[in-house]
Structure 1
């Protein structure tokens, strides 16, 4: 294709005009809406928030962004931050517990949680308020009632505590602020159930605006991609405990201050809609070997039950659970017996029990640490990390307690690029075998506070016709030479050629071809492009990515160089 002078400049001007058009449309739309609105809500905001601004939300969002930019190195590598040292691997790794809830796996992950924070946290901050609401209290009567302290200290501090709780009680290794975002949602649902669902739509608008300004026009072509099921990428347990923490905190504040409560149907519908939209029904299990199972039936029952229990906790009366049946008991004799408890207290107890039941399994799992068994295949060392490649080995971070549910087990084997740090208690499959086979080359980033390094991982292979792929895995350390760490078994070409069997064999240097006739095997190097090698039985010639065998007047293709769709 012949390049047309000035085309790229014209495209840049066109994108600039498109962005300006979007901004103008948004400003005009807001202007019309504000001009026709009575703006009474502005006065309500100023009455609840300092200068009408959710300062606490902005402080929290700024903190999360700063962790990504400076601690994880996102400022230098926006799309590929360092993640391994900042996950909440176990209780024996304090740095991960402290940073896991505030770190992120990539730019998309970060932006998604920031949008959720900026849309849901203001509802929480508005409901709580910067100004005390008790009659007779003064805004500056004490340190706890000072609106500046409440906005810039108390709200961010409570958020940090909730984040730490999600890291402690989520089944590791978690990373991301989403548990806290769900806590914001849980608190907001208690006050504004329908408003919380609407806030999700506002978040979608903000995400669309960001995507549009980043890339006004998107040209998409069909291409193969490597994906895992979307529901297998959701930290469902961490999201659920975050939501329950927020709901319980919201109920505590509502009942302590005797704030107005939403109608029962609005509350039930809001909780159910939020839980469904946010996929809290996606209960799944990891089977190992990149296999997952989704329990839709169980998830749907659970979210319906959640909506019912939250509604009862807020809207039920103080009457005993079983009404007249409970009235026959002597309160002093059966104090605390369930039938004598108010209905709303029973619902709160169910929520507390649910949070405990979800959090409890995290304790044995998060008490594990990295196995001290030597890693296979001559690992590369980068400070306190070891990096290698292996297949079908026990996962070194699986809980020592083998739990089973619905026929599934926690004991799994794994294959891929392995990373271990004994001092940090980290053992993980950083890149799965299937993903590496798709991408061909990747980088594994390791590090800690104030430092980060990358190890390059390469896979090369030849696919024998009808016999599978023979491949090699090589690692390149930050300041060293590329090293071979893994060779797959040889792969035999289907059928016989000139009375011989041909196999593709990964070798220390490149690949070799084994030619077997009877009990005799001869080996020759796989030829370079446009060159040939020969044994007494066959001649091998390579043309680009294809390898042919010639016997007398017969010429057949026997292997093809492996291609990596992730690089196309």
Structure 2
């Protein structure tokens, strides 16, 4: 095993060096063969940017990275995400931090890769040295370092505020960049998608030159089920709307056909077709319906661009023809619908959960349940709305003061990975919570287990499942396996007599029946007769002491 590890490390080092050398040679070759391209790009950048650099992009990317590394404590290896989601309007911190928070390294790498590629295009259009009407605006440096990043952050807060349910990440702003850039440069935007994918692949190769994975049972949620479709569509539509307003003020010519085509291609490439539902643990993707939705979205955007790019300003009401009413509605109605639904879901509250054992951590309640209803409900003033709930099984974390209800680990994931840790906390503080599944599995496949929660050096059992029958009888005694409070035991029953004896690493005899644990198996027999396997030890804490 040690030799294999050393061999893998050597391969990784060679791969990293080889890839770095190839990239450097590619850059040098590109410059030597076409130096005019770099010089022309630098000249145009200096015309629009301070020092020819997209400083606003640098600032907003830096804010995301700093927040992720320090506020979310990514430098420790565990990412704190719970307090930085937009849970409810009773918890404004979530809406203010959600746009710059991320769920993990792949999440932030994906968002910032697209930001690095598309944000400079938007920043180029906006410029540091002129305002939207083409006149000189704020001091260029102030505009670059403060104005542009604040505008983009404002878009993120807007999308976070009206998202459907809890959200985290910069993707709402990324889709704003998509929508803005596609109006001015539709063909270039499609090409930039390829650049973005190539950039992600390069980063992945540099981060992990060699990756090994083992096939096995998986309880991972499908990637398309983690897409916040509402926030992405909202960001895209807002980006299109703002870009068209800027184009009209500057008298820019727009090609509606190309814009619509680019929106369709971009929507398919970026997963806007991911219309899905969930029924228990089954996720259903309506791909055909989603593609039709993207096509309709592209048509509506193209129509809006066609009409609005050549129409008088909104202030000239006498020229507001019926077709302009339709045109504005094609963009405004979807935005309003998304925002209204988001407003209603943002009023969600968490109902008190009774009859469960919980571990309290500064307002957070950590517990375990199976087939329990999600108690995050919609509370609309003056309306007695019936909550739309769904059932979940696993480790649940709730916080009534913040409107938080989420599953930290599913039942299936905890079975395959019986010891898991996650963070809870807030701005400036955190606590680590460890959850363990201590179990037994009978020879018939039945299971019995306890779920233990450890925090601040204190461990408590929050769930005990029923005993696991073995369908085995030894000397007239029926044998079951049970785990109670994390303690594994054998439960014997004959007639009205019941004995429950904790399992140990050594053999022991109860009522003439001898039990032995060997290589994780539990054997039972009488005297020197052949012992039958009645079960095995599973989960965490397999040392019986």
Under a length normalisation based on structure 2, what TM-score does the superposition of the two structures give? 0.88
Deviation of the 1:434 alpha carbon: 1.9
The question of whether the paired residues in 1 share the 8 Å contact of 2:60 and 2:149 is answered with yes
In 1, Cα distance between equivalents of 2:487 and 2:309: 77
Where does 1:425-504 land on structure 2 (aligned, <5 Å)? 425-478=403-456, 480-494=457-471, 496-497=473-474, 499-504=476-481
> Aligned pair 1:313/2:300, yes or no?
no
Aligned match for 2:109, one of 92, 96, 111 = 111
**Corresponding residue number in structure 2 for 1:304:** 295
Deviation string, structure 1 residues 267-316 (Cα, Å, up to 9, x no partner): 222111110011111111233x3332222232121100011111111124
The question of whether the paired residues in 1 share the 8 Å contact of 2:418 and 2:438 is answered with yes
**Corresponding residue number in structure 1 for 2:338:** 358
Deviation of the 1:204 alpha carbon: 1.8
In 2, Cα distance between equivalents of 1:104 and 1:6: 33
Output the aligned Cα RMSD.
3.0
Aligned match for 1:398, one of 364, 377, 396 = 377
> Aligned pair 1:508/2:485, yes or no?
yes
Deviation string, structure 1 residues 138-161 (Cα, Å, up to 9, x no partner): 53xxxx354333322221121111
**Corresponding residue number in structure 2 for 1:383:** 362
Q: Which moved more, 1:224-233 or 1:347-356?
A: 224-233
In 2, Cα distance between equivalents of 1:20 and 1:414: 46
In 2, Cα distance between equivalents of 1:94 and 1:375: 30
Q: Which moved more, 1:5-14 or 1:15-24?
A: 5-14
Q: Secondary structure at the match of 1:247?
A: helix
Q: CA 1:59/1:427 → structure 2, altered by over 3 Å: closer, same or farther?
A: same
Where does 1:94-243 land on structure 2 (aligned, <5 Å)? 94-132=92-130, 139=136, 144-243=137-236
In 2, Cα distance between equivalents of 1:73 and 1:201: 32
Aligned match for 2:509, one of 534, 542, 561 = 534
**Corresponding residue number in structure 1 for 2:272:** 280
Q: How many residues align?
A: 529
Q: CA 1:20/1:370 → structure 2, altered by over 3 Å: closer, same or farther?
A: same
Q: Secondary structure at the match of 1:198?
A: helix
> Aligned pair 1:265/2:262, yes or no?
no
Deviation of the 1:220 alpha carbon: 4.2
**Corresponding residue number in structure 2 for 1:562:** 538
The question of whether the paired residues in 1 share the 8 Å contact of 2:159 and 2:172 is answered with yes
In 2, Cα distance between equivalents of 1:46 and 1:521: 86
In 1, Cα distance between equivalents of 2:81 and 2:177: 24
In 1, Cα distance between equivalents of 2:379 and 2:5: 65
Q: CA 1:188/1:414 → structure 2, altered by over 3 Å: closer, same or farther?
A: same
Deviation of the 1:376 alpha carbon: 1.4
In 2, Cα distance between equivalents of 1:282 and 1:16: 35
Under a length normalisation based on structure 1, what TM-score does the superposition of the two structures give? 0.85
In 2, Cα distance between equivalents of 1:346 and 1:300: 23
The question of whether the paired residues in 1 share the 8 Å contact of 2:375 and 2:389 is answered with no
The question of whether the paired residues in 2 share the 8 Å contact of 1:525 and 1:533 is answered with no
Q: Secondary structure at the match of 1:493?
A: strand
**Corresponding residue number in structure 2 for 1:65:** 65
**Corresponding residue number in structure 2 for 1:420:** 398
Q: Which moved more, 1:60-69 or 1:148-157?
A: 148-157
In 1, Cα distance between equivalents of 2:33 and 2:397: 54
The question of whether the paired residues in 2 share the 8 Å contact of 1:286 and 1:292 is answered with yes
Deviation of the 1:374 alpha carbon: 4.4
The question of whether the paired residues in 1 share the 8 Å contact of 2:452 and 2:486 is answered with no
The question of whether the paired residues in 1 share the 8 Å contact of 2:48 and 2:129 is answered with yes
Deviation of the 1:525 alpha carbon: 2.1
Q: Which moved more, 1:33-42 or 1:201-210?
A: 33-42
The question of whether the paired residues in 1 share the 8 Å contact of 2:350 and 2:405 is answered with yes
In 2, Cα distance between equivalents of 1:543 and 1:222: 28
In 1, Cα distance between equivalents of 2:4 and 2:67: 44
In 1, Cα distance between equivalents of 2:524 and 2:198: 59
Q: CA 1:490/1:158 → structure 2, altered by over 3 Å: closer, same or farther?
A: same
Deviation string, structure 1 residues 493-514 (Cα, Å, up to 9, x no partner): 1455555432111123511212
Deviation string, structure 1 residues 48-80 (Cα, Å, up to 9, x no partner): 333322111111111111211222122x32x42
Which runs of 5 or more residues in structure 1 are unaligned?
Answer: 321-330, 402-408
In 1, Cα distance between equivalents of 2:38 and 2:171: 35
In 2, Cα distance between equivalents of 1:510 and 1:355: 55
Deviation of the 1:534 alpha carbon: 3.1
